[in-house]
Chains A and B, each alone.
Chain A
Amino acid sequence: MILNTKHFGEIDIDENKIIEFREGLPGFTNLNRFVLIAEPNDHETEELKGLIYWLQSVEDPSIAFVMVNMVKYMPDYNPLIEPEQIQGLGDYDPEKFVFYNIAVIPDEIKEATVNLKAPVVINDEIKQGKQVICTNEEYTVRHYMFK
Chain B
Amino acid sequence: MLALTRKKGESIIISDNIEVVILGVGSEQVKVGITAPSEISIYRKEIYEQIQQQNEQAALSNTDLDILKNLMK
Residue numbers of A with Cβ under 8 A of B are 7, 22-23, 25-28, 39, 42, 45, 47-48, 51-52, 63-66, 73, 84-85, 87-88, 102-107, 109-110, 112-113, 115, 117-118, 131, 133, 141-142, 145-146
Contact = CB atoms under 8 A, between A and B. Distances in A.
A133 B65 contact: no
Contacts of A7: 63
A142 B61 CA distance: 14
Q: Sort chain B's interface into a size bin.
A: 20 to 34
A112 B68 contact: yes
Contact of A105 (B51, B62, B73): B62
A89 B65 CA distance: 30
B72 interface: yes
Nearest to A88: B39
B55 A133 contact: no
Contacts of A25: 55
B57 A104 contact: yes
Interface string B49-73: 0111111111101110101110111
Contacts of B54: 102, 104, 113, 115, 118, 141-142
A102 B58 contact: yes
